[in-house]
């Protein structure tokens, strides 16, 4: 017996009652669509259209449900390293612009002394080009 069919996003096993995988099937754990390119045997990120099948027309979003008639689920579609890489890239991007996880989670209030996004961007640009911040008085 081969590898079981698992969700491409979280790795949860696809239940037998969810097979065959229809366009509307979702993962019971993370609610990701299952009839997607990322779960298909023909999915190949090294190809231009991300698909090895000769006649398939690739959709715009490979992580959302589609109507591909050539869809065949592949075992081992879950790759935990991809999620780690995405999270690492997000952390690097946040650190580049000075955001911390607490900043992202904190709700904005109208009476806050925080800078607006445009003010933050201007301050960051001025810092990058070694210009002293300008007073708007």
For residue 108, cis peptide bond before it (omega within 30 degrees of 0) = no
Low-confidence winner among 74-78, 82-86, 110-114, 132-136 (lowest mean pLDDT): 110-114
User: Residue 109 pLDDT more than 70?
Assistant: no
Q: Which residues contact 70 (CB under 8 A, 6 or more apart)?
A: 40, 42, 53, 55, 56
For residue 48, is pLDDT > 60?
yes
Q: In this predicted structure, which of 1-5, 9-13, 118-122 has the lowest mean pLDDT?
A: 1-5
For the chain, the structural domain boundaries read 1-78, 81-128
């Amino acid at each position: 017996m081969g590898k079981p069919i698992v969700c491409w996003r979280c790795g949860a096993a696809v239940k037998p009652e969810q097979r065959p995988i229809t366009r509307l099937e979702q993962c019971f754990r993370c609610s990701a669509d299952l009839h997607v390119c990322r779960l298909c045997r023909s999915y190949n990120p090294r190809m231009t259209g991300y698909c090895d099948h000769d006649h398939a027309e690739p959709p715009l979003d490979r992580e959302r449900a589609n109507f591909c008639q050539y869809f065949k689920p592949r075992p081992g579609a879950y790759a935990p390293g991809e999620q780690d890489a995405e999270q690492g890239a997000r952390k690097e991007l946040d650190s580049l612009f000075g955001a911390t996880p607490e900043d992202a989670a904190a709700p904005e209030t109208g009476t806050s002394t925080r800078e607006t996004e445009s003010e933050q961007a201007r301050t960051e640009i001025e810092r990058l080009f070694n210009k002293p911040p300008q007073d708007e008085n």
